[in-house]
Amino acid sequence: MAEFPALPLFTDAYLRDCWHLSDAEHGRYFLLMMLIWQTPGCRLPNEPEWIARRLRRSVDQYHSEIKPLVDEFCKCDGNWITQKRLTQERDYLRKRSKSQSVRAKSRWKKEKDKLNLRSLFLKEKNIYLSNAEYILSLHFLIQHLLYIFVKNIIMKTSWYLVKVLPGKERQMAEDFNKQISLGKMKNVNRFVCPTEKHQVTVRNKKMIREKVLYSGYLYFESQTPLNDDELKTISLTQNVMGMGGNRIPIQLRESDISRILKDDILDRHVDAKLTKYRVGETIIVNDGPFATFEGIVSELKDDDKVDIEIKIFGRPNTISLTMNQIQKI
């Protein structure tokens, strides 16, 4: 096989220089160029018998058909026949091939250095991996990166708001999550009802009571876009007041849901005496002779006492209590 099997042909230059040739002469000239191109050194010996034999011609046919083309398009320099354009193209291809070879060797050297550094690191850590183990570790790494890509890009989730009947938040969150576990809502990941725990004192006993942070609201995580059938299932559930919008639920911002989830995860404990009350706020008495009575804050005396207005036998009465004796409803 020749050093460069493909013969470059620039049609514009060829037609410009050879427009006057006949069809038969075009064919002979092509055979001559191909013979020059595949001969080592891109040159032919100036021997009519040698050239005629390879072009399947007699010596007389060489002199009558081939020699005129050699005289017009080639250069005869003593013992050799060359074609200027073919020689230039051969030299160009050799330089390009050499340059590509140098770059390939340089890349291989860099890869080899990386492998050597990996081997050195593993030896320093007393880790010895076979080629199969190394390939297997790369396989698991690629799988992990693919999982992260699918989770964060392709299967991106968003949080939405749904309005429910106040006082039913925790029960409905449990019911919805139970449906998810049974596979009835495949695109919904979970429902969340954020709560906080208060430490209160009832009849001189400290107790922990859990309170819903956002009364009348649930939050659910779903893949986007939302599934119409699952939205219909949620909206038609008993005690659901709405989706927060018209027919499409409100999508929460990442900053808002991060704060809401943080409040839920922290599971905060708040001492009742540190809770701030406002005048006009409705509370319930949890200690003393008026325990279980509901009242309205009428005056905040100091950090520990507050005046409460309660109704006794239908008449409003004002009593003074400590903040440990009351709690928010």
Q: Which residues does 207 contact at the CB level (< 8 Å), separation at least 6?
A: 199, 200, 201
Q: Residue 302: what pLDDT?
A: 57
* Omega before 194 within 30 of 0, i.e. cis: no
Task: Give percent of the chain with pLDDT exceeding 70.
Answer: 76
Lowest mean pLDDT among 60-74, 177-191, 216-230: 216-230
Structure tokens, 155 = 């299967």
Which tokens hold the place of 198? 């208060």
Six-digit token pair at 115? Answer: 């492998």
Average pLDDT over residues 268-273: 44
Q: Are 295 and 307 in contact (CB under 8 A)?
A: no
Arithmetic mean of pLDDT over the chain? 78
Nearest by Cα to 321 from 301, 302, 306: 306
Residue 104 pLDDT more than 80? Answer: yes
Reported as a single tens digit per residue, the pLDDT across 49-95 is: 999 998 889 999 999 999 999 988 998 888 899 988 888 888 888 88
pTM (global) more than 0.95: no
Greater pLDDT, 68 or 231: 68
Strand order in the sheet with 282-285: 315-322, 305-312, 294-300, 282-285, 326-328
Could you please report the per-residue DSSP string of 252-318?
PPHHHHHHHHHHHHHT-EEEGGG----TT-EEEE-SSTTTT-EEEEEEE-SSSEEEEEEEETTEEEE
